[in-house]
Structures are given as structure tokens and as C-alpha cells.
Chain A
């Protein structure tokens, strides 16, 4: 048996790192949008929308390499059809 805890999108927490400024989380039927300013955003919670599970991690600006923001996203378990993910980080 495994436990699957599904918090609300709005319940996403900062678990480490600095304090992001102007963090907003929005979602509609087709997409998530996360926007933040400043460094140190670290969101590590399972976000659930219908059948799609998304984990998004944005590392502090101090770790960002020359190629731009070190941003990872991973999705699994969803049908995928017709679902898009909108993600922007303003640093």
C-alpha cells in the first residue's frame, strides 16, 4: 500500500531556499502558471490537476548557470492529451 497525499495547488509550500517575491500560482482547465520574482524559489510538492501530476523545482539564482534558469519539470500519470503547462519565472 502507498499513500498519495494531494494538497491543493494553493497549498504549495516553500520548503527551502530564500523567499520568493510576488509568488503567484494560477491554474485553469488547461495549464498551470507559476510566476515568481527574486531568487530562492523551491517548490517541491505534488500538484494535481485532473489526471496530471507535476513536480516543479526552480533553484536559487545563485545556482543558475550561463545557459539561463536551471528549471526542471516532470510530469507523469496523466493522459497528456490537450494538457499544457505554462511556467514562467521572472528573476
Chain B
């Protein structure tokens, strides 16, 4: 079970109204280098893998995202995200980051990321599912 690591910038962006976690388009992007939570603020700061063979630049969308609150804890939920290599391998990755694709200023602000623990080589036809379980992140 991989724990989400929150970007520092996300805390600021929440207070400034950058995110509408109910309505915005959230995406999972695959990375080949560890993010820097203290300074990475937008997708362009991250080391996203090259597009191709089933991976689209900017990542895959988290469908049906929803944000709610109970007993003081905000919970973001959404459908699992699946990456499938096709016509060749997807570029080696290790990290998956959640970003918000909707805002334009700043463009594509970051939210959090997960570490697989080792490099992953997804061969042609293989899949990697990002299984969020009961929630993507919780904000207490």
C-alpha cells in the first residue's frame, strides 16, 4: 500500500481556491524521477515520462472524482486509473502523481504523488492499475 505524499504547494492552492476537486479534471501522470514536494508546484516541474505506446502526455483522467466532508475530514474519491502498454513498452516509470488539469493559472497544479518503490517496465500488452481504494486522499 503506497502512501500519498502531498505537495506543499497543494496546501496553498487549496486556500487560494485553485482547486474544485468535485468539478475539475484530475489526472494521474507517470514520472521517472522523484518529485520535490517543497518546490514542485505544477506539472511542468515534474519529470513526466515520454509519451507513446499507450501513455499520453499529461496522463490519464481520474473519472468520477468527487470531494466530500465528514466529521471535519475532506475525502477525495475517484475511479481507478489504468495504463496499458500498446504497440511497445511504456517508458520506465516509478512514481505516479495526481495533478489538476483544469486550472490555467497556475497551469496543472500538483496535488500528491505515490512511489512504486522501484522502476517499472510495462511491456506491450501489460497494464498498471492505480487502485485508490476507498479514497484518493483525505484532508483533515
A residues neighboring B (CB under 8 Å): 1-8, 11
Contacting pair B123 A3 (CB below 8 A): no
> Which residue of A4, A7, A8, A11 contacts B129 across the interface (Cβ within 8 Å)?
A4
> Which residue of B1, B123, B125 contacts A2 across the interface (Cβ within 8 Å)?
B1
Contacting pair A1 B4 (CB below 8 A): yes
Q: A1-B2, A1-B114 are in contact. List 10 more A-B contacts (CB 8 A).
A: A1-B3, A1-B131, A1-B133, A1-B136, A2-B131, A3-B130, A5-B122, A5-B127, A8-B125, A8-B126
CA distance in complex: A41, B127 (Å): 25
B residues neighboring A (CB under 8 Å): 1-4, 96, 114, 116, 120, 122-123, 125-133, 136
List residues of chain A with CB within 8 A of the CB of B129.
3-4, 6
Nearest-CB distance from B95 to chain A (Å)?
A: 11
Contacting pair A8 B123 (CB below 8 A): yes
CA distance in complex: A1, B4 (Å): 7
Contacting pair A3 B132 (CB below 8 A): no
Given contacts A1-B131, A2-B133, contact A7 B4 (CB under 8 A): no
Contacting pair B128 A5 (CB below 8 A): yes
- In the complex, the chain A residue whose C-beta lies closest to that of B3 is A1
- In the complex, the chain B residue whose C-beta lies closest to that of A48 is B127
Nearest-CB distance from B129 to chain A (Å)?
A: 4
List residues of chain B with CB within 8 A of the CB of A5.
120, 122, 126-128
List residues of chain A with CB within 8 A of the CB of B3.
1
Cross-chain pairs A/B with CB under 8 angstroms, 13 sampled: A1-B1, A1-B133, A1-B136, A3-B116, A3-B129, A4-B129, A5-B122, A6-B126, A6-B127, A7-B123, A7-B126, A8-B123, A8-B126
